[in-house]
Structure 1
Amino acid sequence: MAAGAAADAMQQFPDGAHVRLRSRVHGGYLHADEDGAGVSLRWLRRRSANAAWRVQRILHDGTTCVLLHSAAYGRYLAASPDPAPPGHRGHRVVQGDYGEEGVDPVLWKPVGSGHAGYVLLRHVSYRLLRANGRYRLWHAGVSVDDFDNQSTMMHWKVESIPPRPGPPLLIPPTPINREGFRGLFLLHEPVVLQRTIRYVQADNQGNFNLNPNGWATFQFHGRSVFNLRWEVATHVGLALFFFRVIVCVRAGRYGQPTPLFVDLPRNEETLDVVAVIADTPAAEALRYPNVDAHWR
């Protein structure tokens, strides 16, 4: 791979920026699924936070590589050792943590594809990120496949997402109206998810105890990020000023705190969150993708 092409590919992933990745073949966007684990292609979710990924550049073995963590849930684009599902090639790609397993599962290198306007994303295992289902669009999972199996299914268009000037408003949860529908449509009570929240408050500079074993915990019901902010604010003693608390999620011990502005994933896994106070240097350093902006 020519050095110039590799450099051009890397330039499309500025450190700290948000990007979308669009499949050359399908036109679908790389999407962090709402279960908080899967990664797939979605065609109608371009303006979703789930299609936005923040770039984190790191130096690995003397070369610059990237980590991509979801703007929705803060988890990292990761290659799994598990085989891809039936109808898909290679190994499964998931939303993973940057934790005790180290950086290898979440480490990627953008390289030139040999076709103008498209890049390849090469995992540290030397496999390439690929779409699936060329002729069967319902095979929408994303995987990594051997470098020697290159095809246009591995070509990605990088779309830059400009930042918002500040955090988006959090939408209050919609109450469920059960009156009048129980006999017709509501056969069962809605399932309310429950999970453990581990939390810590950052100081004004963004520093906090990196070891989550020393964090406090509470039980949280539901998925509402609005309700989560209020509960975190209450636990850190800022209930009256809950609107000044920014809840950030951290995926793994070495994960970067990501501001949470969409509802929690549909699972019951323990969530590590960092409370950042508005109008502090720590809050000013946070970045939010303007997913509604027009891309040229």
Structure 2
Amino acid sequence: MQRSGRQQLPRRAPAAMDLFPDGAFVRLQNRVQQKYLYADDDGEGVSVRPYGHVFSLNAVWRVHRVLVAGNNIVLLQGVAYGRYLAISPGMAPPGYRGRRAVQRDYAGDNVGALMWNPLRIVDGERYVRLRNEFNRNLLRANGRYRTWHTAVTADIDDYGRLSTMMQWTVHRFQVVPGIPPLPRPTVYLGGRRGLLGRRMPEADERRTIRHVRANNEGDFDQDSNNWPTFNFFGRSVFNLRIQVGMRQPGGEVWAITMAVRPGSQGRLTPLVTDLPRSVDNMDIVVFDTGSQGAQNLVYPAI
């Protein structure tokens, strides 16, 4: 006896690019390691790390789509420090495959290393590969057998063998308005041990901060060469807000919101974590908390 009604077609997996809508917050989980793509706290490296008790902003990336020759290309911006996932021109250290994945600002003409094209895995709808548009290599985890090799690289596709170390699951976060409170400053013990094992603190390294005040709508002078600068010591974002606020008209410290601009073409990212260990210069845009410009800043619901 035949059943009446229409035959249901098998559900088709979304196209790879559909998993990366512009402005979305995502985390990428490696198929083999089951760990997440992570922006290292030195502000330079990229690794895979396990899911911790509290999910780290370092494992969250914001999608920034651009059109290149009429085609959509994906850029992945780290939520912790605002820098973009890129490929280094240098080869990875011994024991790794391909070239190092790094964090970079988005500026200048040589930006192909920041651009990625997601590709669907034909026989596994859960997974995608990310192909770099600069050298056509694929983002991969390392350490299948040497588990201490946690750095991420980009490598050739194993001559068509489609290594599962190059396959990633995309997880999405909801977007929420408002910015979380800044972490309180912590005491850095650091340094080396001296006589009787006592710790001998070392001076914090210095970085240059450039800052500019945005108006209520969020507009500001785009030329960072016009911005005032000062030297900042340490990594505390709480202390940075105090130093930036003291330099604003009226010296307002507690009613400002800071965003980092990672290069002249980079999107503004709310600055809510302590600064990276690198001492690269940082460009900070300052908003009145509650202004339209501040409300336009978005944050992942983690």
For residue 298 of structure 2, what is the amino acid of its counterpart?
R
More off after superposition, 167-176 vs 243-252: 167-176
Residues 97 and 155 in structure 2, CA contact (< 8 A), matched pair in contact too: yes
The answer (yes or no) to whether the contact 2:22–2:65 under 8 Å persists in 1 is yes
Quote the sequence identity (%).
45
Structure 2 residue aligned with 1:67: 75
Gaps of 5+ in 1: 292-296
Counterpart contact for 1:193–1:223, Cα < 8 Å? no
Cα displacement (A) at 1:246: 1.1
- 4+ runs deviating over 6 angstroms: none
Out of 80, 84, 89, which is 1:76 matched to?
Answer: 84
**Counterpart in the other structure of 2:42:** 35
Aligned pairs for 1:68-147 (under 5 A) are: 68-114=76-122, 115-124=124-133, 125-147=135-157
2:233 to 221, 227, 231: 221
Q: 1:123 to 1:177 in 2, by over 3 A?
A: closer
Q: Which residue pairs with 2:262 in the alignment?
A: 251
Letter paired with 1:144: A
Which residue does 2:297 correspond to in 1?
286
Per the alignment, residue 253 of structure 2 pairs with 242
The amino acid of 2:74's aligned partner reads V
Contact 2:57 2:80 in 1 (8 A): yes
Computing the radius of gyration from Cα coordinates, the structure with the larger value is: 2
Corresponding residue for 2:20?
13
Deviation of 1:102 after TM superposition, in Å, equals 3.8
CA distance in 2, matches of 1:33, 1:224: 17
In the superposition, the TM-score normalised over structure 2's length comes to 0.88
Structure 2 unaligned runs (5+)?
A: 1-11
Deviation of 1:86 after TM superposition, in Å, equals 1.2
Secondary structure of the 2:254 match is: helix
- Output the CA distance in 2 between the equivalents of 1:248 and 1:34: 18
Structure 1 residue identity aligned to 2:132? H
Preserved CA contact (<8 Å) 2:186 2:236: no
DSSP 3-state at the match of 2:240:
helix
User: Structure 2 vs 1, CA of residues 177 and 68 (structure 1 numbering), >3 Å: closer, same or farther?
Assistant: closer
Aligned length, in residue pairs: 284
In the TM superposition, 1:172-211 aligns within 5 A as 172-175=184-187, 185-211=197-223
Per-residue displacement from partner, 1:142-188 (whole Å, max 9, x unpaired)? Answer: 0111244531111001111122332111122134689xx98654332
* Cα deviation code 1:60-110 (max 9, x no counterpart): 111111111110000000011110111111111100111114431211111
CA distance in 2, matches of 1:38, 1:96: 9
Q: Which residues of 2 match residues 42-53 of structure 1 at below 5 A?
A: 42-45=49-52, 47-53=55-61
